[in-house]
Amino acid sequence: MLPVRVSQSFNLQSGAFTVLVFHTVVFLSLIHSCRGQHKVVCLTETIVAMVDEDVIFPCHLDPVMDAFGLTLEWGRPDLNPRFVLVRRDGKEIESMKHPSYEGRTSLFTDQLKQGNISLKLSKVKLSDEGRYRFFSPQLGETAVQLVVGKWEHFVLKVIYI
């Protein structure tokens, strides 16, 4: 009789142990998935630029993560095609870019490894005004608004003040 009882109580204990291990594994993997989540942080939500200026959309990954090989997309949802810059497998894909942005958008490729995904837009045009959306399947999305001012407006304001 005794050996049976011992074995039953051992089974009970091992069952409780299995449940405990299971919960611990679930708990640890939850912590891990939270820790693995990198956020895209932009230092500003709105950028004001004058026509012909160069402008930087200042965004980085927090915590720091190597973005060199990731899929990175900067676009304007109101355009067709909507992309102003697409990077896949470590290369920029020029053919996906909206023609109006040809030769005017770039990333700081030497800083992607440090998680700097800032977009540079050169020679800003009035038509560049709008909402710019960053998206990466691995990182999620964020948006920055660009407001374009004209020097004429600025000068007129100064004269009238």
Q: Which stretches of the chain bind ligand NAG, using CB under 6 A?
A: 56, 58, 60, 108, 111, 116, 118
CB of 124 to ligand NAG, least distance (A): 16
CB nearer to ligand NAG: give 56 or 79. Answer: 56
- Alpha carbons within 13 angstroms on the beta-carbon side of residue 50 total 7
Nearer to ligand NAG, 60 or 87 (CB): 60
> Closest distance between ligand NAG and the C-beta of residue 121, in Å?
13
Q: How far is the CB of 55 from ligand NAG (least distance, A)?
A: 11
Cβ atoms 117, 40 nearer than 8 A: yes
Question: Residue 6 or residue 54: which is nearer to ligand NAG going by CB?
Answer: 54
Report, in Å, the least distance between residue 105 CB and ligand NAG.
14
Distant-in-sequence, close-in-space partners of 90: CB < 8 Å, separation ≥ 6:
68, 69
Q: Kindly report the backbone phi and psi dihedral angles of residue 151, in degrees, each rounded to the nearest multiple of 5, phi listed first.
A: -60, -35
Query: Cα(first)–Cα(last) distance of the chain, in Å?
Result: 102
Structure token digits, residue 123: 């020679």
Return the number of the residue (17 or 108) whose C-beta is nearest ligand NAG: 108
Q: Please, are residues 104 and 88 in contact by the beta-carbon 8 Å criterion? A: no
> Whole-angstrom Cα distance, residue 34 to residue 121?
33
Nearer to ligand NAG (CB atom), residue 108 or residue 151: 108
CB of 128 to ligand NAG, least distance (A): 19
